[in-house]
Structure 1
Amino acid sequence: MSAPLRSHWSLDPQVVFLNHGSFGACPTAVLQHQSELRARLESEPVRFLAREAEPLLDEARSVLGAFVGADADDLAFMPNATTGVNTVLRGLRLQPGDELLVTDNEYNASRNALDVACAAMGAKVVVATLPWPVPSADAVVDAVMAQVTPRTRLLLIDHITSQTALVMPLAELVRRVREKGVETLVDGAHGPGMVPLALRELGAAYYAGNCHKWLCAPKGAAFLYVRRDLQAGLKPLVVSHGHNSPRTDRSRFRLDFDWMGTGDPSPYLCIPTVIRFIGGLVPGGWPEVMASNREKALAARRRLDARLGNASPLCPESMVGSMACVALPDSSAERPAPPLYLDPLHVRLFEEHHIELPVTAWPKAPRRHLRISAQLYNTPADYEVLGDALEALLR
């Protein structure tokens, strides 16, 4: 991809931005559309929220459903994937001795939600330790399945891990645990826009996905997919008017989740716009966006591994999406408590070289790696700048 594509984003031109994975970045044209929606809302709030919002949200959900391979009525908008994960976990009915399975790669916020839910109901958290470096997707499946017992009720699994940027063998895991009577809650924060989704075919019970990351929607746009047979037993975190609504033209799931109090619906309403906009930036549409970002990440990983003298990559190419991890020399710095810890190398890359990307201690200090992201606005030159900086700082 050529550098001019960066002109569609308002990113600081003085920063080499290689951290799209943390919070995404929204194109200026989409932000302009959001501003217009907000102005429309404020010009007559009652008209917009009471009369116009519902069909607009239905349309947005329909477009999103087509993009992620799900029926629109199986989706509920959320402000972020963490809210979706919390919604499901707080809605579980567990018994003392029940087990909820998670990997040691799970995102910290979602793991916290799991711990709180299990503690409240007397259930047990079981952790599957994944190998690192990862030799194969089969090794991940084996590590997870080894921890499934007759008491396992749910698997919480990242689709793409945050700390290690692994594209998990999700379809195989969902299939294997479901054969044993275990449902799956997918933390899909990085999924939409990074990898093709077919949620209807996947068969997972729940999938919480962000739209503000790789889909590039405004902040506050996410969704929760709930398989149809499980919707009746789930309530939103905020119970509002829908709980006793007499309407019969919509499912109770829709009535409960479509209105959880007054809020700004503009991030959700921008989803159709951003899907069209990003897909229109390259001739091959979204399949080309995803494929080119992945190839960019793989090429950058190969080049950085070579420059740093790494003998082998941290995971197979089949487990790489639009992010990739590269091993770094061990850190000699003390490691304060997460999640606010910043590795000194992270700080120096930004302060001295104006490069933004995370450096992560994994699986624990002193081991560490960096995580690069690849989006349409990134170019091969960005990763060469990073390589130069690393060689200077690590001497």
Structure 2
Amino acid sequence: MDEQIDIVSPPSFGRAFGEKHFMFKPGFIHLNQGSYGGYPRPVRDALRSVQDAVQAEPDNFVRYTYPAKLDEIRGILAEHLHAADKDEIVLVPNATTALNTVLRNLRYQPGDMIAYVQGTYGAIEKTVDYLVESTPVESVYIPFDPITDDDGTLVESFRSVLQEHRGRVRVAIFDTIMSMPGLRMPFERLAQTCREFGALSAIDGAHGIGLIDLDLDKLGADFLTTNCHKWLFVPHTCAVLYVALKKQQLMRSSLPTSHGFQPLPEVLQMKQYISPYELPASKNPFVFQFSYTGTIDNGPSLCIPAAISFRKEVCGGEEAIRDYCQSLARKGEKLVVEILQTRTLPMPESKRVAFANVQLPLEIFSGVSAEKAGLVPLADVPKVIDFILQSLARDYNTFVNIAFISGSLWARFSAQVYLELQDFECGAKALKELCEKVANKEYV
């Protein structure tokens, strides 16, 4: 007799699923998972359990229990992300901290350059600007217009810049998923190009884990960060910082510098540090630096097992989540375009993730006079964005991210397992009303 196999039916995602498992207030439509995330009740319970454990014995937990649990978590993440060694992975608060750690640890000589793709997340671009101010490094950006350029155009531009400045580009920064608009980047090809030209690769995967499958060993990047609190259903703040074993000697210090830092012998001279956090003989020095960087909330990182368990046992696994979210984003995008009577990005489905990107029906006018009916002066764009975002949150009980891209205003909807098509319809109708108000100058 053949062995009977239990077939588990995939869950029915959507509003009812969200009401059962998530904690959004009644009536709120969360269309912006991509910014600050959102996590289910079982993860909330895990977080509270950690908080209770910390308060039961603060010193014992922070000094001894937490580092041991953190090592277990790094092992789970290494398996999830296909990293060759768990000691290539440490945890930091967020992707901005991770990339600052990488960029500020590198030593720059006159003539060195940092290359970054146009459209890089603003905080990271400003980090580059700060380093240009404070160190000998220079910067160069790789031109990229997400509205008109395809992967081939970006890869060729990237290659051209590295070729033009061959031997000078110390590190190149690029995304797994561009934040605004939300689309997959050819990061695998860009990492390979970095290897060809001898440039370090620093990948901003803020939108990564929980959204796309990442194989760090196969990717072969030097540095990568990915936020767990965006798409993995982990409480904020929590992010992975991956540093390839062969590049860890470049990372002299965590950010901030803390007890794990080991000064060079010539700096130490006659100093003798007596610290309660001494490097065990079995511990990787790089990992040890990030085990304790000051008093923080220990809860979010220790919720990773609960988040992965929920995704596997309740949601049916990563593939089920991705399939639903990408399908919803595709259908939602089409519906929003119909309601707003505008357009979406002309991109192949291979670049599709759980984002829907739609242009707003507002014309931006950059001429001397912008008094024509319905036109928005270029100088008013920041004010218009603020008006729309505040109105969405205050008056419509929802939120959709808005950005000014390539001369137009674009909306980015996040698809998630607690949403369904009618939620995109509600968001689109709210945006349509607000765009009419903007055209009538009600934002002034």
Unaligned 5+ runs, structure 1:
none
What SS does the corresponding residue of 2:411 show, helix, strand or coil?
strand
CA-based RMSD of the aligned residues comes to 2.1
Number of residue pairs aligned between Structure 1 and Structure 2: 392
Contact residue 137 and residue 319 of structure 1 kept, 8 A? no
- In structure 2, the residue matched to 1:62 is 75
- In structure 2, the residue matched to 1:224 is 241
Give 1:105's aligned amino acid. Answer: G
CA positional deviation for 1:390 = 3.7
In 2: Cα distance, 1:200 partner to 1:192 partner? 15
Alignment of 1:126-137 (within 5 A): 126-137=140-151
CA 1:277 to 1:96, structure 2 compared with 1: closer, same or farther past 3 Å? same
Deviations, residues 167-203 of structure 1 (Å, cap 9, x unaligned)? 1011011001211111110111111100001111111
What SS does the corresponding residue of 1:193 show, helix, strand or coil?
coil
What SS does the corresponding residue of 1:155 show, helix, strand or coil?
strand
- Compare CA radii of gyration and give the structure with the larger one: 2
TM-score (norm 2): 0.83
Correspondence 1:193 to 2:210: yes
- In structure 2, the residue matched to 1:164 is 181
Contact residue 145 and residue 406 of structure 2 kept, 8 A? no
CA positional deviation for 1:32 = 1.6
CA positional deviation for 1:263 = 2.4
Identity %: 29
Contact residue 184 and residue 204 of structure 1 kept, 8 A? yes
What SS does the corresponding residue of 2:133 show, helix, strand or coil?
helix
CA positional deviation for 1:299 = 1.4
TM-score (norm 1): 0.93
Alignment of 1:47-126 (within 5 A): 47-70=60-83, 71-126=85-140
What SS does the corresponding residue of 1:346 show, helix, strand or coil?
helix
- In structure 2, the residue matched to 1:302 is 334
CA 1:32 to 1:384, structure 2 compared with 1: closer, same or farther past 3 Å? same
Greater shift after overlay, 129-138 or 293-302? 129-138
Unaligned 5+ runs, structure 2:
1-12, 263-277, 365-374, 437-444
CA 1:65 to 1:335, structure 2 compared with 1: closer, same or farther past 3 Å? farther
What SS does the corresponding residue of 1:243 show, helix, strand or coil?
coil
Contact residue 279 and residue 289 of structure 1 kept, 8 A? no
Greater shift after overlay, 381-390 or 332-341? 332-341
In 2: Cα distance, 1:86 partner to 1:307 partner? 41
In 2: Cα distance, 1:347 partner to 1:116 partner? 30
- In structure 2, the residue matched to 1:14 is 27
Correspondence 1:4 to 2:16: yes
In 1: Cα distance, 2:49 partner to 2:285 partner? 31
In 2: Cα distance, 1:294 partner to 1:311 partner? 18
CA 1:15 to 1:228, structure 2 compared with 1: closer, same or farther past 3 Å? same
- In structure 1, the residue matched to 2:400 is 357
CA positional deviation for 1:262 = 2.6
Give 1:274's aligned amino acid. Answer: A
Correspondence 1:388 to 2:426: no
- In structure 1, the residue matched to 2:320 is 288
- In structure 2, the residue matched to 1:45 is 58
CA 1:136 to 1:207, structure 2 compared with 1: closer, same or farther past 3 Å? same
Give 1:102's aligned amino acid. Answer: Y
- In structure 2, the residue matched to 1:274 is 307
CA 1:354 to 1:226, structure 2 compared with 1: closer, same or farther past 3 Å? same
CA 1:337 to 1:81, structure 2 compared with 1: closer, same or farther past 3 Å? farther
Give 1:147's aligned amino acid. Answer: V
CA 1:49 to 1:392, structure 2 compared with 1: closer, same or farther past 3 Å? closer
In 1: Cα distance, 2:340 partner to 2:294 partner? 52
In 1: Cα distance, 2:59 partner to 2:156 partner? 54
CA positional deviation for 1:135 = 4.5
What SS does the corresponding residue of 1:213 show, helix, strand or coil?
helix
Contact residue 187 and residue 208 of structure 1 kept, 8 A? yes
Correspondence 1:183 to 2:215: no
Correspondence 1:265 to 2:282: no
Contact residue 191 and residue 209 of structure 1 kept, 8 A? yes
What SS does the corresponding residue of 1:315 show, helix, strand or coil?
coil
- In structure 1, the residue matched to 2:261 is 243
Contact residue 314 and residue 326 of structure 1 kept, 8 A? no
In 1: Cα distance, 2:382 partner to 2:68 partner? 40
Contact residue 131 and residue 139 of structure 1 kept, 8 A? no
CA 1:325 to 1:72, structure 2 compared with 1: closer, same or farther past 3 Å? same
What SS does the corresponding residue of 1:86 show, helix, strand or coil?
helix
In 2: Cα distance, 1:211 partner to 1:382 partner? 25
